[in-house]
Amino acid sequence: MAKKQISDLGDLKGKKVLVRVDFNVPLDKISGEIKNDRRIRGALPTIKALLKAGASVIAMSHLGRPTRDAVADKFLTMDKVAERLADLLEISVAKAGNTVVGAEVTARAAALQPGEVLMLENLRFDPREQKNDAEFGILVAALGNAYVNDAFGTCHNDKDASMVALPMRMKNNGFPRAVGFLVAKELEIIDALMAQPKLPLLAVMGGAKVSDKIAFINVLLSKVDQLLIGGKMAYTFLKAQGHDVGGTRVAPEELLAAQPLLHHIGGKIQLPVDYLAAKSSDLNETKHIVNEAIPADFEGVDIGPRTVEVYSNRIKQAGTVIWNGPVGWFEKPAFSKGTRGIAEAMAHSNAVTIVGGGETAEAVEQFGFDTKMTHVSTGGGAFLAYVEGKPFQSLAQIDDK
């Protein structure tokens, strides 16, 4: 890699390392409990390496989208995250007060001893975080004397002070900046994937909006042998072709986004050959749709069994498979067979299999196939943006080797 990694930071004994992690974990809306700790587990190798080297760690992350209303944000403190991190590390993890910066936080950071971990409060509790505020960066930078970016999932957030203004200030202070193991692995795998993939190269694309992924789709079309479409965006393409999709909602802007891609259908773009539709007023009533219009009071919720078979056969023949976006409403067991089928086909293939983060990663883990993939990315939006070739200001702040 061109960027410095932990091994390039030199002697870390006695250093206080500010580690930007991505602990933006999914929470139960009622209890506030952590539903999936995959992102916390992903940062463990970096944190453990720093502690083993004799450093202390000041971990920082955002969590959710705070309104800065105490009642509304009651589950968005880092308390439970700190507890889970402590359980996984099997050491105590201190929580630094109820504000991100301030006298109490400064005192707790100053008192840190080698081998200890301090968790800052939710970065987005301070409005300056998402404004890339220079003063906020200065205040957080004063807590440590080295910086590590191990938050691939937020690397594309160039307006976050913890990603840009903070490491910029660390440089001004003469302190080193590096990427952690997680970010280094993500960049190396994606770079290799796009430069020298094992052929044939196949992509599976799902999710809701064509408009959100148009740049990503265009990049894929320039590289892949075939792009298999599922999810709600499949109905966008169908409607753009003039097919009746019943009660499936397709926004006008989505139809507009799909138009320039229609000439690829039947060539590089493969649409499902059958669907599962559910009655809008009663999701328990379903229809298997093959070569016919979706009824007006039904909506598409998953790819059908024939499509699973077709797509699975294509995956079996591929050298590399990239997957981004569930192909159905996988959170509901009755509508999860398509997404599960894709995951299972990839898990049992001999291809290099890359899962592009976000909901796709959650689905793969939910079905128990995550350990059978070559790589499951920790960043949905960041994965898309990096493949698209967008420059990341956050990575520009990391020292070159």
**Active site residues per annotation:** 39, 209, 358, 381
Residue among 88, 42, 85, 374 at smallest CA distance from 184: 42
If DSSP codes are grouped into helix, strand and coil, which group holds residue 322? strand
**For the CA atoms of the chain, what is the radius of gyration?**
23
Q: Give all strands of the β-sheet with 352-355 in edge-to-edge order.
A: 269-270, 226-229, 201-205, 320-324, 352-355, 375-376
One-letter amino acid of 56: S
Specify the residue for token string 């539709």: 277
Q: Rounded to whole angstroms, how far apart are CA atoms 340 and 349?
A: 14
Both tokens assigned to 166: 């903070």
With helix as H, strand as E and coil as C, how does 221-268 read?
A: HCCCCEEEECCHHHHHHHHHCCCCCCCCCCCHHHHHHHHHHHHHECCC
Q: Rounded to whole angstroms, how far apart are CA atoms 387 and 192?
A: 11
Residue among 251, 314, 55, 20 at smallest CA distance from 152: 20
Q: What are phi and psi of 362, to 5 degrees?
A: -60, -40
Cα angle vertex 178, ends 176, 181, to 5°? 150
Q: Which residues contact 282 (CB under 8 A, 6 or more apart)?
A: none
One-letter amino acid of 350: N
Query: 219 with 388: CB under 8 angstroms?
Result: yes
Helices 380-388 and 214-221: angle between axes, nearest 10 degrees:
50
Q: Rounded to whole angstroms, how far apart are CA atoms 312 and 318?
A: 10
